[in-house]
Homo-oligomer: A and B are copies of this chain.
Amino acid sequence: MAAAAPISPLAPKSVPDVAPIDGVRFASGEAAIRYKGRTDVTLVLFDEGTTVAGVLTKSKCPSAPVDWCRSMLPGGKARALVVNSGNANAFTGRVGAAAVQRTADLAVAALGIDEGSVFLASTGVIGEPLDASRFEGVLERLAGEATQDGIVAAARAIMTTDTFPKLATAEAMIDGIPVRLNGIAKGAGMIAPDMATMLSFLFTDAPIAAPALQAMLVEAVDHSFNAITVDSDTSTSDTLLIFATGAARSRGVHPIDTATDPRLDDFKAALRTVTLDLAQQVVRDGEGARKFVEVRVTGADTDAAAKVVAASIANSPLVKTAVAGEDANWGRVVMAVGKAGERAERDRLAIWFGDIRVAVDGLRDPTYDEAAVSTYMRGDTIAIRADLGLGEGRFTMWTCDLTKGYIEINGDYRS
């Protein structure tokens, strides 16, 4: 269980100081879904006028709450988000759909809002029916307790195998007026369906229409949550939602309707910063991770080709075990480049660990210093770069090493 595991050695040194956002209130409590003696349900309330956008798992077997969010997102309006940990309500069929409906009904009754403005997410065991009656009374009580300051408690309540709560924050200027963007996330395997899933929720007071939010979110995800991997496995439940209360209108920020509006440039940068920060925190909490690994591919034919090659390297068990063993095994990087299926010419390939070039022009770099590489590999952050020498395409991914700890966490007897 999450509480018992030691904090990842790659965790940030402290939880960031997150300023509240007007129009968003949080409350977390205990619904005893699976865990005992810890919070496992979070209610987030949004003021009227809040817009929403989201990116959901591409899994062909999504969880019931993912189905729910997918059907509500086109409405673009949000008043409440209910998240529980301990049970993912995934692969629960009609029973799962009924549990989601029941949870939404309870939220509607407790809060007096439209069903279409309720968003739901669940994380935890898969295949077990979620008993939605556990939320009875709980949502009403939480609604009464909700405060602007509850974001850290919310980040804790959604943890499963996570060893630390994940928060990030940034400020952006729109029309010369500061707006804020806060985010929380949970996730420790790219997924471990027994106990995990990747969830992330972002909150801003910027007044941005839902379609514009959606377009910006998709773009930001490409280089953050879609640029990380722990074990190449994809959750049935991955959910990323962004909520914009528009409260900054009261400070003079005019509403923005389109993602191409240049007034959003600074906000887009903040969105990239926060999503990348949270995504990297997920990798830093990767199950069994001892090293944080950046994989940068340059010189590919296209950015898309570079991404395929980067993913091949970042997902390779042999590359990841080599990093765990502090072995600058560039032969395994060559293997991963070769198996990716994108164009690669052996005699143009160059590979670096950190700033040390270990292979060039189809051969071991004759000048590289083995002792310097060994020292570098002992660090807790390892940058691998592969230049294909073909074009301008580039992509960077982040992952972690593959250790016995991963096997222990995922291979332990369930009972």
A binding-site residues for B, Cβ under 8 Å: 57-62, 90-96, 125-129, 189, 191-194, 231-236, 315-318, 321-322, 324-327, 329-332, 334-347, 349, 359, 361-364, 374, 402-404, 406-408, 410-415
Contact = CB atoms under 8 A, between A and B. Distances in A.
26 contacts: A58-B339, A60-B342, A60-B345, A62-B346, A91-B349, A91-B362, A93-B361, A126-B335, A127-B359, A127-B364, A193-B334, A193-B335, A232-B232, A232-B315, A233-B317, A233-B332, A234-B339, A236-B335, A317-B406, A317-B410, A321-B407, A321-B410, A324-B407, A326-B413, A403-B407, A404-B404
Determine the main DSSP class of A at the interface with B: loop
A334 B127 CA distance: 9
Contact of A58 (B194, B233, B324, B341): B341
Given A232-B317, A402-B407, A402-B411, 17 more contacts: A59-B335, A60-B340, A60-B341, A61-B337, A61-B344, A91-B349, A91-B362, A91-B363, A94-B362, A127-B364, A191-B318, A233-B317, A233-B335, A236-B338, A317-B410, A321-B410, A327-B414
B59 A362 contact: no
Nearest to A237: B335
Nearest to A92: B363
A324 B233 contact: no
**Leading 8 A-B pairs by shortest Cβ distance:** A93-B362, A61-B338, A126-B331, A59-B338, A325-B411, A234-B339, A321-B410, A321-B411
Given A127-B330, A363-B91, A338 B414 contact: no
Contact of A318 (B90, B128, B231): B231
Best-buried of A189, A192, A402, A407 by chain B (most CB within 10 Å): A407
A330 B166 CA distance: 29
A162 to B, nearest CB: 16
A236 B340 CA distance: 11
A57 B193 CA distance: 34
A60 B414 contact: no
A188 to B, nearest CB: 12
B410 A325 contact: yes
A317 B318 contact: no
A324 B128 contact: no
A316 to B, nearest CB: 6
A128 B358 CA distance: 12
Contacts of A92: 362-363
A403 to B, nearest CB: 6
Contacts of A329: 193-194, 414
Given A192-B318, A407-B402, A413-B325, A90 B339 contact: no
A321 to B, nearest CB: 4
Contact of A412 (B325, B347, B403): B325
A329 B196 CA distance: 14
Contacts of A411: 321-322, 324-325, 327, 402-404
Given A318-B233, A413-B327, A191 B402 contact: no
A407 B404 contact: yes
